[in-house]
């Protein structure tokens, strides 16, 4: 049986969607095929890699990707936007789409202040995303480990 496909989308695919992809892969194991993308892809932020490494997750093989890499090429069962801009500009029609969700997280890339202050923002967002993924998994995955339909698009 095919695993449900999850695509996390944010503006640049530099922080939030990357963290969400890494957390879901880490927390759910092989129960989902998971990817992330940006509506205007940029570059993976080095502090994203750093704070995820602090949590025990290696992101060395991650790179920023655009939604065009997936649209029409990859069926998406769960499309989850993690910023308002992506929610507004992400295409609404995807092959296989069953559920579209929006989870808002502050953009850590826009944090200002000292290096330590910026790092703290990245850590806070990392932890918020982990909690959201854990909640979603508890609501979406039944006791046998199979994904349920969840909310409809």
Residues 110-124 have a mean pLDDT of: 96
On whether residue 147 sits in a domain, the answer given is no
Instruction: Specify which residues 9 forms β-bridges with.
Output: 37, 81
Query: Which two structure tokens, joined as six digits, stand for 24?
Result: 């879901």
pLDDT band of residue 84 (cuts 50, 70, 90) is confident
- Among the options 83, 98, 101, 133, which is catalytic? 83
Is 151 within the bounds of a domain?
Answer: no
Active site residue 90: yes
Does residue 131 sit within a domain?
yes
Higher pLDDT, 71 or 134: 134
User: Token pair of 48, please?
Assistant: 């994203």
In a domain, 33, yes or no: yes
Q: In this structure, is residue 66 part of a structural domain?
A: yes
CATH number of the domain at 25, please. 3.40.50.2300
**In-domain check, residue 146:** no
Q: What mean pLDDT do residues 113-142 have?
A: 94
Total of domains in the chain: 1
Specify if 71 maps to a domain. Answer: yes
How many CB atoms within 10 Å of residue 29? 9
Tally of CB atoms within 10 A around 100: 17
Confidence of residue 86 (pLDDT cuts 50, 70, 90): confident
pLDDT of residue 34: 96
Summarised one tens digit per residue, pLDDT across range 33-44 is: 999 999 999 999
Known active-site residue 80: no
Can 98 be counted among the known catalytic residues?
A: no
Residue linked to tokens 């090429």:
73
Backbone φ, ψ for residue 79 (5° rounding): -105, 115
Instruction: Assess whether pLDDT exceeds 60 at residue 149.
Output: no
Q: Is residue 11 part of a domain?
A: yes
Q: Which domain holds residue 42?
A: 5-140
């Amino acid at each position: 049986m095919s695993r449900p496909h999850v695509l996390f989308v944010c503006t640049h695919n530099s922080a939030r969607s990357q963290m969400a992809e890494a957390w879901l892969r880490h927390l759910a194991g092989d129960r989902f095929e998971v990817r992330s993308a940006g509506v205007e892809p940029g570059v993976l932020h080095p502090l994203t890699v750093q704070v995820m490494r602090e949590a025990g997750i290696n992101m060395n093989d991650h790179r920023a990707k655009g939604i065009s890499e997936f649209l029409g090429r990859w069926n998406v069962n769960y499309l989850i936007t993690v910023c308002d801009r992506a929610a507004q500009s992400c295409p609404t029609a995807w092959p296989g789409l069953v559920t579209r969700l929006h989870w808002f997280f502050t953009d850590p890339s826009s944090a200002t202040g000292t290096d330590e202050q910026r790092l703290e923002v990245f850590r806070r967002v990392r932890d918020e995303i982990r909690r959201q993924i854990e909640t979603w998994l508890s609501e979406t995955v039944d006791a046998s480990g199979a994904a349920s339909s969840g909310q409809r698009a």
